[in-house]
Structure formats: structure tokens, C-alpha cells
Amino acid sequence: MSPVSVMASSSSVLCEDQLQCSICLDVFTDPVSTPCGHNYCMICLKEFWDSSLHCQCPVCKTSFAKRPELCVNMFISGLAASFKKSVQVKSGSAAQKPTQSLVLCEICCEKKCAAVKSCLTCMTSYCKTHLEPHERVFSLRKHKLMKPVENLVDYICQKHERPLELFCRDDQTCVCQFCTEGEHKTHNTVPIEEEIKEKKTEMEKTRAEVQQMIHERLNKIEEIKHSVKLNNKTTEKEKADVVEIFSALMRSIERSQAELLKVMEEKQKAAERQAEEFIKDLEQEITELKRRNTELEQLSHTEDHLHLLQIYPSLCSPPHTQDWTDVTINSHLSVETVRRALSQIQETLSEEMEKLDETELKRIQQYAVDVTLDPDTANPKLILSDDGKQVTCGDKKHLLDNLKSFNRCACVLGKEGFSSGRFYYEVQVRGKTKWCLGVARESINRKGEIIASPIHGLWCVWLRNGTEYEALDSPSTSLSLKQAPQKVGVFVDYEEGLISFHDVDAKSPIYSFTGQTFTEKLYPYFCPCSNDGDKNSAPLIICPVSQI
């Protein structure tokens, strides 16, 4: 059997679903195959890959490191062409059979033919033969013809019995010519063809928007999948870090435990040796005392009074012995020994905590954003750099006061607000004796005194008098820091309700506001505070984030 015969016979067996592209849902045009074995129209697959972040199969999601070279699958192409041809033949045959036509000619008497046009003037549908007068006779050529329809009455004005040729844009309904001379006289009416053309243009625009939305959502799916992969990698890394931290801690505890047990065993053995020596000395003394006791007993029974008086002086006092009253055996560990062991464990724990803090800082630095100061919100006394990255306080007004600016507090907000997700930025505070940093909600009071607390829409940490650090929480919390931060990192997780502050150089946390609820935009907040006689003239500087 020839290939053509195979395709012809196959087309009678294959259905449209088997020759259908899963992207456009139509019979294949220039079908191509992916390495995983799935088939698509060439143009559909190329457009799908062009709009996607990754090159993968739309059906099974198999990813390809390199975009495969696409060649038309001639066998499937032949099947699709044969199938389309057979469908066209069947459609042509169906059109020739009057019994299969939706609309029949109303003039035909015996054998009804399919109508090719319906006349809104005559209110009749015609086949090609009976339509001929409408194409030839001048008066009939003015009639309104349209594609054949069954219910012609639906295309006629029920009030005036005239064709619905116009569209009223005011009432959004089809009308006839007589309607425009009556109740629709002052309305904006246009020919139906014009309205249809405009509607189709709008439909094309809507369709383009829908297609764009589809592509955006496909891209979002890819973005989410990519994010899941990154999160999985991050989670695995974090799990490994946690295992390493606890393993190190357990090793430290086990090492300290082994050392303590060894010390205890050595002390026990030393105590046993000491006890043996004490017992030996005591036994020797007991032997000597027993000998003296025997001598005294014998002397007490002697009848030789002269001998008793002569020897008595040497026996009147007990033999020389050690004072055993305060002698004890002690094998217990001293509290200081245990404390030293625990201090070692605590030191190990601190080292591992520092590693964890460093890992956390690396993680949140991924969410760094470019923050620029908003001069419209700045207190008039503030001096902003031209690039909007530095701010200090002057002694007189440098900016104009407006509705968005703070008129009492020497502070300024960042230009961009955030109402979702995570963001992070860093600020240099070196050389300052006073400052206040954090985030503020959009509706924070900008006129008059500011009450710095989460209840009033401000989450911040400040420095006073050069050494006094405080988190302005509810209630405020004094902070004891190992060293004075030179650069402060501020991180916000909107959905998590978290705002945290970090000493960037020390890679250690400063303070965290947790369990917060945000309902509006949050803006970076900066307050360089007053100059204090040039003691606090150093600026707050927004720094680019360089991951450690």
C-alpha cells in the first residue's frame, strides 16, 4: 500500500483530537515534535517558548537545557493535510444537500435548495438561482441582503416593520430608519456595519488583552515554579546549616560531658588513693596505740612499785599521732569546674548563633530595593543630597513646607511605598550621636509631634546621647548592643508582619517587631535628628547593598 493510501485510510480512522495541537486546539499546521515525543504546530510552540522563562514541553513540562531545533514532521503533516481535505470534501458535500442546510430557499417548490442570501426587504431567503433577479433588476438591487438566517423576523423592527439597519449607541439597541425619526431622533445612531466594525475592533483589542493576560499568567506560572525551585534550594541549604549548627553544639556538649566524666573519674581515683594512704596511716597508728595499751595494762598489774615509777613517765602520754578530726575524702566536682564547662558550651552556641545570624542576613539581603528620599515629605530644615541618598538637618529652612511634609519632626520618607512582599535597605549611621530609622505607614501624622510607636504607624529604632539604643515598641525596649552599629539594615516582610533591624558589619540582629498587621503602604523612614551644635552633623546615607 502506498503512503498516500496509508494516509487516506488513516484519515478515515483518525479523529480530530488525535491531530489536534494542544496549544491552539486546532488541527496541526506544520507539526513539529519535541524530544519528549509531543507534537505541536511550529508557530504555536515557538510563540509558547518565546513567552516563557524556560524552554519546556507545554504538556509534560520536560525542560530542555537548549531550545531544540524544530523540523516539520512530514508524516504527521501528511495525516493532518489528508484529514483537512476529507473534512472539506464532507463539508462541500453537505452544502450540496438541501436536507443538511440550516436555511432553505423559500421559492423552490419541489426540491428545496440551500439559501445563499436572505432579503430583509422581501423577508425571504433565496437560493443562488432565485437570487438572480436581485442581482440583475435595478430596484431589487437596492434591497438589504444578508447571510441566510431562519428567523428573519428578528431582523425587522416590530414597530415599523422595516429592516434593523442602524444601531442606537445611547440605548445600545438595533433600530430602523423610521425609529431615528421618532423616539431615537436625538440619539447617536450609526449603520450596523459601522458599529459591527467598531465592535470587532474592540473585540480584537479585548482578545489581544486576553492573550496578553494568558501569556502573563503562563509567565507567572513559570515564575512561581522557578520560585519554588529556588525556595527548595534555599530550604535545603538552611536545613544543612541548622543540622551543622546543632551538630556542632552536640559535639561541644558531648566533648564537655566526656571531659567532665574524665575529671570525675580521675578525682574518684585520686580520692581512692588518698583514702588508702589514710587507712594505712590509721592502721599504723592503731597498731602503735594497741602496743601502748598492752604496756599500760601490764604495768598496771605489776607489784614492782619502783619499776612502775621509773617507767611511768615514758608511758604517761599517748604516742604521737595525727589529728584526724577534719580529714575527709572528697571526689565531688566544684561548681567552678561545671561552670567552666558550661561556659565553653555557651561560647560554642554563641559562635553558631553568629553563623546563623550571618546566614539570615545573606538571605534577607536578596530583597534589597533601591530607596531614594522623597523631598515632598521632608521637614523644611532637612538638607537632601541631589541624588536623594543622603540627609542631614540644618538650622534653618531649606525646603518648602507642603501637605505631605513633616512640619515638626526632622524626618523624611522614601519615595516608593510597599504594600506587599519583602524589601530591605541599608543606612550608614557612622559619626552620629542621634538618629532614628524604620518604616512608617502612609497615613502617619505629618503635622505636629509624632508619637513613635506601632500603634501610631511607626516602627523604628533610635539612638540617643551617643550610646543609648532603644526600640520604640509598645512599650519601648532598651537595647544592649555589643558594639555601636555603623551601618543598619532594615528588613520588612509585609505578609509575615515582620520588621527587623540588623547591624550589617557585625552581621547580628538589633531588634525585631513581630506579629504586626499591615493594611496600607509602608515607606522607609529616616530621621537624622538635630545638629546638636555640629555634634550630630554627619548625614544618614542610604547605601547600596553588597551581599556578604
Cell numbers placing 424 = 530591605
Residue by residue, what is the 3-state secondary structure of 2-55?
CHHHHHHHHHHHCCHHHHECCCCCCECCCEEECCCCCEEEHHHHHHHHHCCCCC
Amino acid at 164: L
Kindly give the interhelix angle for 3-13 and 74-96, rounded to the nearest 10 degrees.
Answer: 60
Q: What is the pLDDT of residue 395?
A: 78
Q: What is the pLDDT of residues 7-37, one digit of tens each?
A: 444 444 556 667 888 887 788 888 888 888 8
Give the model's confidence band at 5: pLDDT under 50 very low, under 70 low, under 90 confident, else very high.
very low
CA distance 113 to 128: 9
In this predicted structure, the answer to whether residue 334 has a pLDDT above a threshold of 70 is no
CA distance 292 to 287: 9
User: pLDDT exceeding 90 applies to what percent of the chain?
Assistant: 32
Q: What is the pLDDT of residue 4?
A: 39
Buried b (16+ CB within 10 A) or exposed e, 239-275: eebeeebeeebeebbeebeeebeeeeeebeeeeeeee
Give the model's confidence band at 332: pLDDT under 50 very low, under 70 low, under 90 confident, else very high.
low
Q: What is the pLDDT of residue 376?
A: 93
Cell numbers placing 349 = 552556641
CA distance 25 to 360: 48
In this predicted structure, the answer to whether residue 313 has a pLDDT above a threshold of 90 is no
Give the model's confidence band at 459: pLDDT under 50 very low, under 70 low, under 90 confident, else very high.
very high
**Over the chain, what is the mean pLDDT?**
85
CA distance 411 to 529: 8
Q: In which element (H, E) is residue 383 found?
A: strand 382-384
- Taking Cα atoms as reference points, which of 359, 382, 497 lies closest to residue 441? 497
In this predicted structure, the answer to whether residue 92 has a pLDDT above a threshold of 80 is no
Residue by residue, what is the 3-state secondary structure of 256-285?
HHHHHHHHHHHHHHHHHHHHHHHHHHHHHH
Q: What is the pLDDT of residue 548?
A: 56
- Taking Cα atoms as reference points, which of 422, 418, 424, 462 lies closest to residue 440? 418
CA distance 526 to 410: 9
Determine contact, residues 319/295, Cβ cutoff 8 Å: no
Burial group, residue 423, by CB count within 10 angstroms (0-12, 13-18, 19+)? buried
Q: What is the pLDDT of residue 7?
A: 42
Q: What is the pLDDT of residues 133-158, one digit of tens each?
A: 998 888 888 888 888 888 888 888 88
Amino acid at 154: D
Give the model's confidence band at 87: pLDDT under 50 very low, under 70 low, under 90 confident, else very high.
low
In this predicted structure, the answer to whether residue 2 has a pLDDT above a threshold of 50 is no
Q: What is the pLDDT of residues 263-293, one digit of tens each?
A: 888 888 988 999 999 999 999 999 988 988 8
Cell numbers placing 189 = 445612531
165 or 413, which is more confident?
413
Q: What is the pLDDT of residues 233-263, one digit of tens each?
A: 878 887 887 888 788 888 888 888 888 888 8
In this predicted structure, the answer to whether residue 470 has a pLDDT above a threshold of 90 is yes
Give the model's confidence band at 120: pLDDT under 50 very low, under 70 low, under 90 confident, else very high.
confident
Gyration radius of the chain's alpha carbons: 48
Q: What is the pLDDT of residues 351-408, one digit of tens each?
A: 767 777 777 888 899 899 999 999 999 999 999 999 999 999 987 777 777 888 998 8
Q: What is the pLDDT of residue 265?
A: 86
